[in-house]
Structures are given as structure tokens and as C-alpha cells.
Structure 1
Amino acid sequence: MNIESMERTAGRWRQAGMLTFGMAMAGALLLGGCEKREETAAAGAKGVIRIAIANEDTFRMDYADYFAAKFPDLDVEIIPTLGLYDQGGDPVKKYMDIIDEKKPDLLFTDTWSYGKLAASGRLYDLSPLIAKDKFDLDNLLPAAVDYLQIKGQGKLYGLAPKFSSSVLFYNKDLFDRYRIPYPAAAMTWEDMLRLAQRFPAEGGKEERVYGFHMGYMQSPLDLIQYIGQAEGLAHFDASGRKLIADTDGWRRIYRLVLDGYKSGALQWDYSPPDKQRFDKEDVEREELFGAGRAAMTISTAGQVRSLRQREAAFAWDMTPVPSADPAHRQNPDFYVYPIFSIGSRAENVTNAWEVIKYFNGAEAAKIEMKTELELPVRQAFAKEIDGHSLEPFYRVKYEEADNSDNYAAVPMEFGQTYRELSLKLMDAMLQGGLSVEEGLRLQQEQGQRALDEAQAAARAKAGEAGAEGS
């Protein structure tokens, strides 16, 4: 998730709930005297704070009310960062240039840029401040803290109040109708897809029930890639010069997913609309679970909001996503947001730290849970939504994949070429004209040739750029 998309997501937080927010804030302030030191210290924040955030509108919509109530003596200066991903070139490098020039005190970073900023020395280590103020880390989701520390190479350069992860939603009425046992809490991907295949392939395309459906997937290849990511499978070696496609791990996942689609238990007939925005009909076509026509789906907390809005008439529940190793629970949809960090050259460290403490503390988490359907990193405030426990979302761990940086050396142009090749071969495998073994052998050979060509072109381009600059 990039800087801009994170801030677009943030922009939706309080759009529809300002009255509720105001009431919740008032109630929280009445209780302020009962909070820990980390919650009451905000009263001492005075002077200037320079904040790197999308723009003035984002700050006004998402944070201005909080600052008016909790930091009335702070003079806020906004350093806009919106649009870095629309200008071409390296957006993180441009972000770093802004930090170097403007020297913000407080930064709203994201999971893409956080590690790079930390490694470049542009973020302030929060550990001494945390220790000095005895800031409560014990009640934070361990996966969130682990993520921030791992990306910070053992140090904590930021704190994030919210996170996203996904769970397996299931339609209890459909399972009861076909007398199929509910999904277990410790299933493997094989278990889940075999469970999906127990639902009979009955009826026409517009009314039949599917065992599993995951919306907005353009091809079975997307589910294959999703499961591969969950299991930590690599596409490239550490150098980024060798393609990894024809392996036992990838063959197993291809067979598993393609068997599911061939059986009719899985549905993926995705037709992206030829327009900029999805309308209601487009969403309905991709929301088979919400329509009661899919027994299972994998989705984020937004699925709960969707079920509530459409007043779903069926009984449903959720359980952790499948995992090759249930003890680890890698989740492709896991990320934390927004990440509050202090610039390493900040002039107002104390003010920035007071803001970070507040937004990552108990009082702010309490307010958010009253006004928004979000997942707070503070686990004490994760109760339930519409009678459903949020606990499955919290059954997640973060471990840095061995191949997490392997994409850095891969030319961006190769991505589309490789996807088109993979789709063509996968379609042949799906139709039965090509075995999984032969398909992945061809994918390995043809993909490696394409990667070699892309690498050669990138080296030539870099050489030309170097010659021009000399």
C-alpha cells in the first residue's frame, strides 16, 4: 500500500460520522482524568509541529477535531505529500527529498516507505521515548509491533493505531442446508478448497451456489498468487535475476486451485467494467458472498460493513484464513496504518511524540471503536461487531519473508510481460490442453528468457543514462 493510497483510505475515516465523533470525543474527555500518563501528557504540548501528510484537506477531515480538543496550544504546519506517485520517477526518493528539505517533525508514513525511510536514517528511534514514558506496548497486537521492528531492523521508528487483515467468512445457512461441517479454525488451503468442492454444482450461472468466491479476481491465477504469497513462495531468487516458477510448491498450488475451478466449486467470472468507477451492479456481480450465493470468501473487515449495509438475511461467521502452517498465520492482507513517525532532523521531537502517544493510546482507540468499523492495534478495544467477535482478525503473525526484497532488482516492465505469459499458460492448463507440469516448465523457460531480456534492456538504459550524465 503506497503513501497516497494509505491517505485516500484515511480520508474515509470520519466522512460520515462527525456528530457521533463529537459526542464520543466529549465523553472521552470527561474520562480523561482516569487515563494513564500516556493519555494525559498531551496537555503539555505547546508551540509548533510540522506534519508531513497528504494535504490540508486530509488533515482537516481526519485530525483537526482531535488536535482542537487535545492539542489546542499546538501551531500545526502542513507539509503536503500528495501526488508523489503521479509524477513518475521514484516516489520514495521524492518523499525523502521533501523530508530532507522541509525537516518535518511528524510523518504519516505507510508500509511501503517506512522501512526505506528507517534504513536511510530519516526516522527517529522511538525506543528511548517509549522507555522514558513507560508507554504501553504490551497491549498492542504483537504482529503490528513485530512488523514495525523488523522493518526498522530491530528498532521501533513508528507506531500505528490500526491494522488490516483478512479472515475466512462463511455462510452458516448454506453449510447447514447441505449438511456440511463449518470451516475449522486451523485449516490448510487444501482443507478449505476441498470443503468448497463439497457444495453441489447445481443450477444456472445466475442462481447457483459456489463453495468459494473471492471478489475482484480477474483469473484463477490471482488466487494462485494469493495462496503462494500466504505460503511465502518466491517468484525470484535473491539477485532478482533468476525466475522461480517450476517448483514443487508452485505445482502443488496450481493443481489445488485449478482442480477447484474445474469442479465448478469456485467462481471467478470477473469482467472489469469499462469505466473509472464501479457502480452498484458491478459490485453486486463481485459480491456473491453478500448475495448468499457463495459459501465462503476471504475478505477484510470491510466485508462486515458490506453485510451490514445490505442487511444480509443469512447467518454468517468468520474464522482465521487457511494456512500451510497454522502456527504462523501469514496473511497477505496484513498491514498497519497510518504509521506515525518522527523525522530524524525534527526540531520539535517532544511535540511529535506527544501526538504519537495520544493517537496510539487507549483514549483514541476507544473513540475510534465508537465511531468507525476499524481494527485497533490496541487489542483491549477489539470486542465484537454485530454480535461477531473480532478475535479471528487478531490471530495473525508477521514474519519477514526470505524473498521480501527480491523484487527490487526486477525491472518494472517485466511484470506485465510475465503476467500475460502466466495467464496464457494457466488458461491452457485450466482447459485441460496442458498439464500443470508442462505448463510450469514452459513458464519457467519462457519467463526466464523474458526476464533476461528485461534485465539486459535495463542495464543498457542505465548505461545510456550514465553516459549522458558524465
Structure 2
Amino acid sequence: MANKRATAVIASLLAAGLIAGCGKTADSGEQAAPAKDITKEPAEIVFYSNNGDPVESFDYRFGNALRKKFPNWTIKYIQRTGTGTQLQDLIANGTKFDIFFQSIGNFEANAFPAGIQYDMSELIKSHKIDLSRLDPTVVDAVKQASGGKLYGLPVFTSNLVLYYNKSLFDKFGVAYPKDGIAWEEMVEMSKKLTRIEGGTQYFGFTHSPAHTIRMNPMAIPDADLNTDTPTINKDDRWKKFYQTYYLDPMRVPGYLDGIKKINKIPDINMFVKDQSVGMFGYLSSLIYVWEQELKSLNWDIVSFPTVEKGVGSQSYPAYFGMTNMARNKEATMEVLKYMISDEFQTEMARKGIMPVLNNEAVKKELGKDSPYKDRNWNAIFYNKFAPIPPKAPYDADLVNQYVSAGNNIALDKMDLNSALRAAEEESLKKIQEYKSKNK
């Protein structure tokens, strides 16, 4: 017993000594050096995206704020401008970059085959990054695509809203749409706006096929990940999707004749520049991406028309992922941590960039510094997001085939069933091509 007591006393004295010694150097009585502040030391963080964003756009959205926050660090951006700046070119010539960013689906389709992804899970823990602050749908989507790993952090997002040309509504005496508009109401408006007037063909509604498919409010996955097969001719919801988003609005009187003459679905230029389209379903990000182009248009936005009340499109986040070639992983993580901070997200929101924080105060700042601050910014968060279904790394290839199906259906080049079968066949080929390249 005595020996046990003595051992316990010695242990407690040692513990006390250790505790008392915390923060001091041995025998000197001086305070130990504080943890090193890496932001005081020089570092270079290089961003790359193959989405073609110009340098000015990068600096406006991210670069300038990052340089202000980290004045001792060099923040660079490599823009994809053509030959020599494609992702495979940079890898081939040994150009290193620390952060790769791309939109959901495109992030996986580019990073995974190139093998540049890096699991940030441990760094996220050590930097005490609280992912519960972010919208859960966007965090879950990146985990799902990578088997639970965290290859990217969402920094901003977008969704679908309905842009409308107020001048055309005024010209044809049609009341403006309102937030909460149902799909059937929008189709009725399209009927009133689709006409030939003064020799000009006007269309009531159009949309961006690639984005409507990627962000479909019905949350239909493009592929069955268990069997690595396309869903387009297997999941009956696709029939409802194409009926709803293509046939219903594009079979109003006069519409089919009009698009057959131009042999395409009316596009963004016909809405913004030609001003021959009344309503356009598109990304909320257009407001800052085409800030100058929109000046010539008398426009506003409302929430994307709903099929299921209260449910809008899926969120369309951009993921920023540290690459496995990052030279200073601690500094790179500090940059990414700051990009999802309240401060950075608020500054982005004020510019009109949709934040990813699950924070009402930050959301309310949306658009306050935009030249279009008088527009209906409430439309952007009016509906809740549809769930983001699982995405395969070859998802982008399938979207292209599903867009082709939509074009063939809209232009009456194929009936619905034939178009879905043809898209299925082409999609199966794309999946096999992907698997062959990435064995």
C-alpha cells in the first residue's frame, strides 16, 4: 500500500510540474514561443479552373478579397485560354497549382480522371472547419461523389430563376409573373407572348437545356451508380421531365413553327440581345456574369416556376479543392477556410453571388452592392432546393446526350420514346469510353 501511495504522490507531483511548466521554457521561467502564424510568412497559392473565367472575374469575386486578407501571400490564377492551358496541358508540362475549382459534375469529371484530387478531411479537422455552417445539400453532394472523402469545399452556388423582359410583357399587355409561380401559369403566359408581331417572331419562354437537366427540380439522377448505366430510358420520371420542360411550353400555338425556322431552341442571346423572348429560365449567377450585357434589357426575376409547390431547382455549387500537388497545404487550407467564413461569404453575397452558408443574415445581404440592387433578389432563395442526386464522374458526358434528346424532342425530330432510346445508346458508349480511359 505504501509503495502505491508513494507512486501516486510522485505521479501527481510530476503532473503538477508538467502543468505548471506549460507555456514556459525549462528552468528559464520565460514564456514559450506562441504557435507560429503562417500568414506572416510568404506563400504562393495558385488557383486554376478550366471553366474559362477571365482574370478580372476571378479577381472581382475572389482574388482581391484574398490578397487583402493575406497580404504576405501571392494569390495567382491560371485562366484556361486555349492550347497550353487545358488541364491536361498543365499536368503534362509540370505546372503546379494548389486549388482547382469547377461546378458540381464538372469538378468530378475533370479532377478525378486527371488524378489531382486530394482528400482534405484531416486538414478540415485540424483547422477546425465547421461544415455544419454550410448548406447540407452541397456538402453531402461532394461526399457522395467521392465515397465519403472531401475533395472539395463549396464556396458559392447558383440555382435556376425565371428572368423576364418587362418591355415585352408591357408591349403585349400581359401581367408580370410573381414569386411562387407554378409551371402551368408560366405556360399560360408563354401562350400570350408567343406570336409574330411586326415581322418579328417572339417566343414566350425558353431555358438553358444543359442547366435544366443538371439542376432538374425532379432530382432525377443521370446514372444508376450501382450498374453504371444511364437512367434516361429506365427512370420514367424522364418522360415527365421532357413533357414538362420541353413539350408543354414549346407546343403552345406558333412556337414549333418558329423554332423550326431557326432550327434551335431559343437561347440566351435571343433573350438578352435580340430581346425576342419573354421569359428565360437560367442561372441566378447571370446577374453578375453578364452585368454589362443586362444593361440593355428591362428585366427582373421571379422564382423558377414550380412543378411541386415550393421546390425549385437543385443547387449548382462550385467546389474548390486542394490538389495533391499543393506545395503549402497549411496555407492552402487557410485560404479555403477563409473562403467559407462569414466575412468572405457576406462580401460575395453583396456582389450578388449566392452564398453557401446556412445563414439567413448572410443571405439577406444578397445583391446589396450590385448595380441591380433594385431587382427582386428574394426570388433566388424563394423556393427550397431540390435534393442533389448522386453524380457519376462521367456525369458531364451524359448531360450532353440528354441535352441532344431534348433538342430532338423540342424540334420534333424524334418522338419522346425514340429520343430517349437514342440518348440511352449514346450514353452507354460514353460510359464505356470513360471506363476504358480510366481503368
Q: TM-score, normalised by structure 1?
A: 0.59
Structure 1 396/289 Cα, relative in aligned 2: closer, same or farther at 3 Å? farther
Q: Secondary structure at the match of 2:271?
A: coil
Distance in 1 (alpha carbons) for counterparts of 2:69 and 2:291: 35
C-alpha RMSD of the superposition: 5.4
- State the Cα distance separating 1:168 from its structure 2 match: 0.6
Structure 1 260/51 Cα, relative in aligned 2: closer, same or farther at 3 Å? same
Equivalent residue for 2:118? 122
Task: Please tell me the residue identity of whatever aligns with 2:204.
Answer: G
2:338 to 358, 370, 375: 358
Distance in 2 (alpha carbons) for counterparts of 1:171 and 1:254: 25
Equivalent residue for 2:101? 109
* Residue pair 1:163, 1:377 contacting (<8 A) in 2 also: yes
Q: Secondary structure at the match of 1:210?
A: strand
Equivalent residue for 1:71? 70
Task: Please tell me the residue identity of whatever aligns with 1:122.
Answer: Y
Equivalent residue for 1:442? 418
Equivalent residue for 2:366? 382
Q: Secondary structure at the match of 2:45?
A: strand
Distance in 1 (alpha carbons) for counterparts of 2:131 and 2:399: 45
Equivalent residue for 1:323? 306
Equivalent residue for 1:336? 317
Q: Secondary structure at the match of 1:263?
A: coil
- State the Cα distance separating 1:144 from its structure 2 match: 4.1
Distance in 2 (alpha carbons) for counterparts of 1:161 and 1:301: 15
Distance in 2 (alpha carbons) for counterparts of 1:128 and 1:456: 35
Structure 1 168/211 Cα, relative in aligned 2: closer, same or farther at 3 Å? same
Task: Please tell me the residue identity of whatever aligns with 1:294.
Answer: V
1:198 to 189, 192, 196: 192
Structure 1 192/265 Cα, relative in aligned 2: closer, same or farther at 3 Å? farther
Please say if 1:263 is aligned against 2:252: yes
Equivalent residue for 1:51? 45
Q: Which structure has the bigger radius of gyration? A: 2
Alignment of 1:254-333 (within 5 A): 254-256=242-244, 257-264=246-253, 266=255, 268=259, 286-288=269-271, 293-301=276-284, 303-304=286-287, 311-312=295-296, 314=298, 316-331=299-314
Distance in 1 (alpha carbons) for counterparts of 2:324 and 2:43: 14
Distance in 2 (alpha carbons) for counterparts of 1:353 and 1:451: 37
Please say if 1:401 is aligned against 2:389: yes
Identity of aligned residues (%): 17
Equivalent residue for 1:210? 203
The answer to which structure has the higher strand fraction is 2
Where does structure 2 lack aligned partners over 5 or more consecutive residues?
Answer: 1-34
Equivalent residue for 2:157? 163
Please say if 1:186 is aligned against 2:180: yes
- State the Cα distance separating 1:124 from its structure 2 match: 1.5
- State the Cα distance separating 1:163 from its structure 2 match: 2.2
Alignment of 1:3-152 (within 5 A): 45-49=39-43, 51-54=45-48, 62=59, 66=65, 68-74=67-73, 76=74, 106-111=98-103, 112-113=106-107, 122-125=118-121, 126-129=123-126, 131=128, 138=133, 140-141=134-135, 143-151=137-145
Structure 1 71/302 Cα, relative in aligned 2: closer, same or farther at 3 Å? closer
- State the Cα distance separating 1:440 from its structure 2 match: 3.3
Q: TM-score, normalised by structure 2?
A: 0.62
* Residue pair 1:368, 1:374 contacting (<8 A) in 2 also: yes
* Residue pair 1:53, 1:78 contacting (<8 A) in 2 also: yes
Task: Please tell me the residue identity of whatever aligns with 1:162.
Answer: F
Task: Please tell me the residue identity of whatever aligns with 1:109.
Answer: F
Distance in 2 (alpha carbons) for counterparts of 1:377 and 1:290: 31
